[in-house]
Chains A and B, each alone.
Chain A
Amino acid sequence: DGGITQSPKYLFRKEGQNVTLSCEQNLNHDAMYWYRQDPGQGLRLIYYSQIVNDFQKGDIAEGYSVSREKKESFPLTVTSAQKNPTAFYLCASSIRWGLTGKFFGPGTRLTVL
């Protein structure tokens, strides 16, 4: 089955530690995205990648980093510089970058203790 997987589903980390969230897709999509969801707010774009080996900052990129070495994979690292890292993180992909419909993963809930 084609789709997007994110792992793990729940993640706990101590304050000051970097943590990497996994996102894999087998849909052969060029574009991939990372969103953050906080209670009562819409999804906010952290980073996006239009194509392999390329990525761009979204609205709230500070304290995060990404890589796109393979078309299928777009891992997100939450660094210790991110002031409020506890949130729900959603990965998405689309056939091409822009306003095309997005396919989402199931999300990872990160809690920093």
Chain B
Amino acid sequence: ILNVEQSPQSLHVQEGDSTNFTCSFPSSNFYALHWYRWETAKSPEALFVMTLNGDEKKKGRISATLNTKEGYSYLYIKGSQPEDSATYLCASGYNNNDMRFGAGTRLTVKP
């Protein structure tokens, strides 16, 4: 069974703080890493897809990096805003078309 671990489970930061969280995944037969943003009462929305070791993606104040050799990805949020409050899910995909989701990191940004 492939386990994808996300840490921390939850995080509370003040508005303006920068923060980051981790997704760890089995690296054998790895194909792609997906990050999703999931606001309460809404559908999860895709943020990034990364496939290559060393990939970095950026969207506004949010960025992500990927290390496929050691099996981890970081998601960074610079200058957190209350609207960044959400659960951030990662999912790793493998060459056999298996895709595994982590339990998510719940971020709360206090004004």
**Which residues of A are in contact with B by a Cβ distance under 8 Å?**
3-4, 35, 40-45, 90, 97-99, 101-107
Counting chain B residues whose Cβ lies within 8 A of the other chain, the interface size class is 20 to 34
Whether A104 contacts B99 in the complex (CB less than 8 A), given A40-B9, A43-B89, A99-B93, comes out as no
> For chain B residues 29-60, which have a beta carbon within 8 Å of chain A?
31-32, 34, 36, 41-46, 49
Chain B positions within 8 Å of A99 at CB level? 31-32, 93-94, 97, 99
CB of B107 within 8 A of chain A?
no
* Assembly CA distance A104 to B89 (angstroms): 12
Main secondary structure on B side of the interface with A: strand
Q: Are B97 and A40 in contact (CB under 8 A)?
A: no
CB of B72 within 8 A of chain A?
no
* Assembly CA distance A102 to B36 (angstroms): 10
CB of B101 within 8 A of chain A?
yes
Q: Are A42 and B97 in contact (CB under 8 A)?
A: no
Known A42-B103, A45-B99, A106-B42; further 13 A-B contacts with Cβ < 8 A = A4-B43, A35-B101, A40-B103, A42-B4, A42-B89, A42-B102, A98-B97, A99-B31, A99-B32, A99-B93, A99-B99, A101-B34, A106-B43
Nearest-CB distance from B41 to chain A (Å)? 7
Chain B positions within 8 Å of A103 at CB level? 43, 46
Nearest opposing residue in chain A for B42, CB measure: A106
Nearest opposing residue in chain B for A4, CB measure: B43
Chain B positions within 8 Å of A102 at CB level? 34, 46
Nearest-CB distance from B25 to chain A (Å)? 11
